Amino acid sequence: MTTSVNELNDLKQAPAVDGVLPIFHSRWSPRAFSDREVSPADLAKVFEAARWAASSYNEQPWRFLVGTRNSTAYNKIFASLMPFNQLWATSAPVLILGASKTRFSHNDSPNRVALFDLGAASSYLTLQAHALGLAAHQMAGFDPDAARKAFEIPDIYAIGSVIALGYQGEPDALPNEQFRSQEVSPRTRKPLKEFVFSAWESPADID
């Protein structure tokens, strides 16, 4: 049975919680992308959102390498992906590689939260993308050493994730049944009691 994009997004919609911004319940990570290109203006907006993420000492340690389809940067990022991610990510018009500086600029001491801060900036990016009608899917399935070598990224920078960005496509366009099945499965999340504690493994009384 064919599932349309609208039907799929209805399926993926999480239950509303009073007082929680709706964007958190509607954003998800598709693998199917359409052929539509992302405008430079919208790319600037998603990175503007990332720019205002919080970071330790306001270091803003994140760096993003962005490639649009057929560009040298895109091809380098795509080549670093694991084959199973290349199968579907080939339809994404934008690929973004995140890295983060692991030493503070003001005193050259180690920044142990560098990747945490990159993750915060990446979250802002994906939420802004969703607000613009774009879809984003973050990937750990790539070769960070290959990406580092391809872009000549200094060792002082830790490699984060790759983000596929574009407009959502039809799930039937995905290249195999495994991807199609994952695309149309409902979203699930752990209940709060499994990760919000007042003592270790003791759920906090916040319900």
Q: pLDDT tens across 108-165, in order?
A: 999 999 999 999 999 999 999 999 999 999 999 999 999 999 999 999 999 999 999 9
Q: Where are the domains of the chain?
A: 5-185
- Which numeric CATH code is attached to 5-185? 3.40.109.10
pLDDT single digits (tens) 14-58: 999 999 999 999 999 999 999 999 999 999 999 999 999 999 999
Contact 59, 111 (CB under 8 A): yes
Q: What is the pTM of this model?
A: 0.96
- CA distances for 42 relative to 16, 66, 180, angstroms: 28, 13, 28
